[in-house]
Amino acid sequence: MLRRKLQSTPWKLHISADVWSAPNHKAFLGICVKFVDPDAKEALQALLALSELPGLDGPGSHGGAEQWKLLQHMLEDYNIWNKVGFYTGDNHGSNDKLCRLLANYLQEKGVDWEAKTRRIRCHGHIVNLAVQAFLFIDSKEAAQAALEHIEDADESAFGTDFSEKIKPQRAQAWRRLGPLGKVHNISIHMRENDHQWNEFKKRAGRSLGLDNDIRRNSWFLLLDTTLNLQSYVEWYQKYYQDLRDDYLTPDEWSALGETRAFLQRCGRSLSLQRVVTPL
């Protein structure tokens, strides 16, 4: 039924794909389609493939060429290569390469498909970039540089490069980011050894999260947990004297609460896009 709907619809099919890593360290490429049902005249979405990446460039690799092999197979298997509309993927450079390969493939078949105009950046990643800028950029010059980087060479893995440049690794550098950096340092401190981890978890009933660059809502989850467990975090700061430079003042706790409220709004903007009916 799905094949018939995809092949018979007079409208374009919009493809999205993303890499997913399983707990057993295998990498898969999920390929989805958004389309208009020719019968019901409503927007639908469906998962077309969830295939393991072959690792052509080495174990665990998932470059644009590898992803394209799976996408090409799917397009030919469903016989929908002539209906491709827009392609949505994250900001990693591998997606730019994939789109160029798709454009070349379609051109050979007589289909005009412009890679730069048909490639859509994932809305979640765009929101994430705005959040990163809000959290870490403190000058108009830095913000402008970040915006220019987004539109720069299409091979750049923006999310990774951006995070590496604006998030210094040392505790002192994190501290200069303000209360958010202090929360990061406290969470890292808990992970330094099992005793500190278990001591906090025993009192609070759970551990703090940790920000990372893969989960778009990781900062919100970290702040939300920290604020919900404020009394336990304050105890932990006082108990371990080596955290005295990361002590959170009442004003900083207030700032963290305001930051959480902002991140909640960003999360709601992400949820608004999930309105397409699954098939």
pLDDT tens digits along 76-130 = 999 999 999 999 998 778 899 999 999 999 999 999 999 999 999 877 777 777 7
**Number of Cβ atoms within 10 Å of the Cβ of 140:** 8
Q: pLDDT higher for 108 or 63?
A: 108
Q: Is the predicted pLDDT of residue 59 greater than 60, yes or no?
A: no
Output the furthest CA–CA distance in the chain (Å, rounded): 70
pLDDT digits (tens, 9 = 90+) for 137-165: 665 555 555 555 545 544 444 455 555 45
Q: Are residues 192 and 246 in the same domain?
A: yes
The rounded Cα 221 to chain-centroid distance in angstroms is 14
**Number of Cβ atoms within 10 Å of the Cβ of 258:** 9
The enclosing domain of 72 has a CATH number of 3.30.420
Task: Provide the pLDDT for residue 213.
Answer: 56
Supply the range of the domain harboring residue 204.
Answer: 166-271
Amino acid at 48: L
Mean pLDDT of the chain: 82
Give the mean pLDDT of 31-54.
Answer: 91
- 8 Å CB contact between 34 and 47: no
Q: Are residues 107 and 183 in the same domain?
A: no
Does residue 46 form part of some domain?
Answer: yes
Q: And the tokens for 35?
A: 């389309």
Does residue 77 form part of some domain?
Answer: yes
Banded model confidence at residue 167, pLDDT cuts 50, 70, 90:
very low
Structural domain count, the chain: 2
Listed ranges 21-30, 50-59, 138-147, 177-186; the one with the highest mean pLDDT: 177-186
Q: Are residues 8 and 106 in the same domain?
A: yes
- 8 Å CB contact between 109 and 90: no
Banded model confidence at residue 255, pLDDT cuts 50, 70, 90:
very high
3-state secondary structure of 67: helix
Q: Are residues 116 and 7 in the same domain?
A: yes
3-state helix, strand, coil in the chain (%, to 5): 55, 15, 30
The residue from 89, 121, 153 where one domain ends is 121
Does residue 59 form part of some domain?
Answer: yes
Q: Are residues 111 and 205 in the same domain?
A: no
b (16+ CB within 10 A) / e for 23-33: eeeebbbebbb
Task: Provide the pLDDT for residue 154.
Answer: 43
